[in-house]
Amino acid sequence: MMAHNDIGDVLLELGGRIGKTIEDLFPVGTDEDFLTTPFWHHMGTGGKRIRPALCLLTCRELGGDEDDAMNFAAAVEILHNMFLVHDDLEDGDRIRRDAPTVWVKYGKANAINLGDYMIGRAYSVILASPVDNRIKLKLLDIFTHTYETTCRGQALDLNRRGSADFNVKKYMEIVQKKTADYLVLGMLGGAVVAGVPAEVLDALKHLGSLMGPAFQIRDDIIDLTLGKGRGGELGNDIKEGKPSILFAHALSNASEKQKKSLLKIVRKKREKTNEKDLKTVLQIYESCGSIDFAGSQAEQLTDKAYKAVENIPVENKEVFRNIVHFMSERTK
Amino acid sequence: MMAHNDIGDVLLELGGRIGKTIEDLFPVGTDEDFLTTPFWHHMGTGGKRIRPALCLLTCRELGGDEDDAMNFAAAVEILHNMFLVHDDLEDGDRIRRDAPTVWVKYGKANAINLGDYMIGRAYSVILASPVDNRIKLKLLDIFTHTYETTCRGQALDLNRRGSADFNVKKYMEIVQKKTADYLVLGMLGGAVVAGVPAEVLDALKHLGSLMGPAFQIRDDIIDLTLGKGRGGELGNDIKEGKPSILFAHALSNASEKQKKSLLKIVRKKREKTNEKDLKTVLQIYESCGSIDFAGSQAEQLTDKAYKAVENIPVENKEVFRNIVHFMSERTK
């Protein structure tokens, strides 16, 4: 059993363990350097490897051998980064964690092809897992299902930008698809390797359906308060017209005049959105109480997540309480 | 046993059989229409479904139940089309088979995300194959290996455009990666479902290493003579600076003056390449004998492919002879 404040260190240590597996999957200096060079450029921009760490931790705490989950953990991290590489291009983001994004540094075609290749590598490493065939196929099922659901969520996300009839219900539909299974994918894989029964997996999925949206809502708020590591730039979601919970809430609660102004700004091209626009949107969000609303939604979801932990049919619930706590205190 | 001239009809009939499987994977009118609508737009541009047909035919002719190979056949077709969706964006191609490409009609972000989703669907349908776990994992291994190798070839292809030290050896490296395993992927999957021993798979891979490049070389030639269904437009490879066998051969055989002129033209942006440029390149290719060289390379590879068929350790070699003949007479 560990205290709340220890789990960060445990996850950091576990996340570091997949390094070797990923290095073996993308060996530097091969004749396919057009793939490994941009891959390592991207990976060099940082990332805390929370998802793979959660995979190893869950496997261990549920009685499995965490070494058997190493390949799946690496696959989860590769998937996460593959989405970042493609999303940066889809969103036109030029900077990630203070470095140029892959498409900016290596061109759009290389960014698309690298992401495609990364998916292949993720499947390769799962296929090479040291587990029996039944477990391996279960891992592939979970991985594929989550991958597809995330793409479905991304499709909704991309096509609801600046949409006049966007609302909190539609927001929740997107985040359920984009973040629920996705956030717990590593945990599910770790649990599968540990050989838990189906009810445990269902309970973990339920946990994801609460923890994932809570995480995303906090991320939406942070975009307005701390920035997301793009040179400290605030308000990226507004510039990209992203369907955030703030946008969803404000649209349903603003005056006609505010609504018109809000839509006009989020529909502008990102490079045309100026500081005055951001200020206007912030004022609308504040006058509609959207930021408070978002904060309380995140809190409610986290409370529910704590309750959901109590229903996971395993002895060792403490690790999941710690995970909920940990995730509620941080973002991407 | 069938005659050469029958195989086209057989493949057409077999290719049609995967229609239902693909329709079930991309049901029209769901709330994920941002994925199914662009998918069916793309699929509506045609395609002869040769690859899945080869899968079913190989399975049947090697003694398997072709219904068991249906899912893999569908996956091969989805993979092929996923690459087309992403390649069109990577290459900046605006027209495919006389219709706007997905990125032109639905935007770049949707084209990237659709391709990603298609990969997920391809894995899903393989995972749902009605075969035992061992066979299923073998199918997943082959599929993943080929998918990755194709991405590796694409990386070389993308980064060797307009390269001054390109040559026939480097060309062959690209096409081995991009077309060898890829062209016989369906056949390999059909053979795996039929339960053939490893030596048969190796022999089929060897066949691919001859048939694939022959196919690609003919495709390179066709770009200069018939066009590739982009409104009958000729010389797309030149406009895109693609590392074709003609470019490779001419670079090593042209005078310094010709070489300079050739590089200047292929490095131009595609919209800047005019008819006079195309004519100049054609003249260089002709004066270097590059088109004749390409034609004879394709013929030699096809001859070797016929010989390789005789070494496939199965009773029924006739079907493979027919396939080599069929592939030598057509392109994408």
Does ipTM top 0.90?
Answer: yes
Q: Give CA–CA dist A187/A312, Å, rounded.
A: 13
Span A33-48, mean pLDDT?
90
CB contact under 8 A, B117 and A35: no
Choose among A90, A133, A148: nearest Cβ to B124.
Answer: A148
Q: Is the distance from CB of B328 to CB of B237 less than 8 angstroms?
A: no
Please tell me if residue B306 touches chain A, with a CB cutoff of 8 Å: no
List the single best residue of B113, B132, B270 to mutate versus A (max A Cβ within 10 A). Answer: B113
Please tell me if residue B30 touches chain A, with a CB cutoff of 8 Å: no
Please tell me if residue A35 touches chain B, with a CB cutoff of 8 Å: yes
Q: Which residues of A touch B108 (CB under 8 A)?
A: 89-90, 108
Size of interface A-B (CB pairs under 8 A): 128
Q: What is the dihedral of CA B216, B221, B224, B226, to 10 degrees?
A: -80
Q: Which amino acid is at B73?
A: A
Top CATH class of A4-328 equals: mainly alpha
Residue A188's pLDDT is 98
Q: Diameter of chain B by CA atoms?
A: 61
Please tell me if residue A144 touches chain B, with a CB cutoff of 8 Å: yes
Choose among B133, B137, B158: nearest Cβ to A113.
Answer: B158
B178 Cβ neighbours under 8 A, 6+ residues apart: B150, B153, B154, B157, B212, B216
CA distance A65 to chain B (A): 23
- Low-confidence residues in chain B, pLDDT < 70: 1-5, 31-32, 227-232, 330-332
Residue A315's pLDDT is 92
Report the half-sphere exposure of B249 (CA within 13 A, side-chain side): 22
CB contact under 8 A, B119 and A116: yes
Rounded to the nearest 5 degrees, what angle is found at the Cα of A306, between the Cα atoms of A302 and A311?
135
Q: Which residues of A touch B136 (CB under 8 A)?
A: 137
A125 Cβ neighbours under 8 A, 6+ residues apart: A21, A25, A71, A72, A74, A75, A78
Q: Can you tell me which residue has the tokens 């140029």?
A: A100
Residue A332 has pLDDT above 50, yes or no: no
DSSP B296-332: HHHHHHHHHHHHHHHTSSSS--HHHHHHHHHHHT---
List the single best residue of B148, B182, B185, B240 to mutate versus A (max A Cβ within 10 A). Answer: B148
CA distance A123 to chain B (A): 7
Q: Where are the alpha helices (DSSP H) in B18-61?
A: 19-25, 33-43, 50-61
End-to-end CA distance of chain B: 26
Span A151-173, mean pLDDT?
93
Please tell me if residue A317 touches chain B, with a CB cutoff of 8 Å: no
Please tell me if residue B123 touches chain A, with a CB cutoff of 8 Å: yes
Residue-wise pLDDT for A223-261, tens only, equals 888 766 555 678 888 988 889 999 999 999 999 999 999
